[in-house]
Amino acid sequence: MNWYNYLACFFAGMFLTNVVPHFVHGISGNRFPTPFAHPPGKGLSSPTVNVVWALLNLVVGYILFRAGKVSSGGDAALVVFFAGIVGISIMLSRGFAEKQAR
């Protein structure tokens, strides 16, 4: 596999992980931060905006998953995919913990 396949694997993990909080909050009818809020990433967006944002992340993540050949690229591709999941999970948990502290 080429280096850009691994990059796609990493970002596939990030985008697919980002689907979860936005989709869950959106279908639960809760407001939640998105890049479209004011201020971006800190203000709260409507549940509908969160569902749309989650679905966009799902489409991009799926395209990157296929481009990265995660399912057929061997163990290294899976490790890089899960590294993307770990990276965004830790980043989001810290960011949203700060939001809750305010």
More confident residue, 1 or 82: 82
pLDDT surpasses 60 at 101 = no
Calpha distance 17→24 (Å, rounded)? 12
Range of the domain at 50: 3-101
pTM, two decimal places: 0.88
**Statement: residue 102 has pLDDT above 60:** no
Q: pLDDT digits over 23-57, tens only?
A: 999 999 999 999 999 988 888 999 999 999 999 99
Q: What is the 3-class SS of the chain, one letter each residue?
A: CCHHHHHHHHHHHHHHHHHHHHHHHHHCCCCECCCCCCCCCCCCECHHHHHHHHHHHHHHHHHHHHHCCCCCCCHHHHHHHHHHHHHHHHHHHHHHHHHHHC
How many domains, in total, are found in the chain? Answer: 1
